[in-house]
Amino acid sequence: MRHINPSIHHGFCKKLENIETEPNLVNRQIIFENEIAEALSSDKKQLEDLFYSYQERLKEIDRIRREYFRIQQQARVKLRKQQLRNNTRTK
């Protein structure tokens, strides 16, 4: 077993005591625990509303993404046709 310097050990124990009794840390822990308790006991209807709202946002994002890819594909086709026209003119 390794020998631990008593002054270092004492200093470490003091730091632990300070951390455990630090008012800000204790308050933050209490606030965090209260937030968890509040979230767990929140109304089922509110959670369902959040879920459906989230689903609607996903649908909207998907719609926008499909529209973006459709426009992008149209632009590619248009560019390709223009390139083909330019190539036939230069020959």
User: What pLDDT, on a 0 to 100 scale, did the predictor assign at position 6?
Assistant: 57
CA–CA gap between residue 16 and residue 13 (Å, rounded)? 5
Q: What pLDDT sits at residue 75?
A: 94
pLDDT band at 79 (very low <50, low <70, confident <90, very high): very high
Which single residue is written with the structure tokens 């632009």?
75
> In this structure, are residues 19 and 25 in contact, taking their beta carbons and an 8 Å threshold?
yes
Q: What is the dihedral of CA 13, 14, 18, 19, to 10 degrees?
A: -30
Which residue ranges make up each domain of the chain? 1-41, 45-91
Give the pLDDT score at 1.
Answer: 45
Q: How confident is the model at residue 82 (pLDDT cuts 50, 70, 90)?
A: very high
Task: Give tens-digit pLDDT for 27-67.
Answer: 766 777 777 777 766 666 677 777 888 888 889 888 998 99
Phi-psi region of 32 (alpha: psi -120 to 50; beta: other; left: phi over 0): alpha
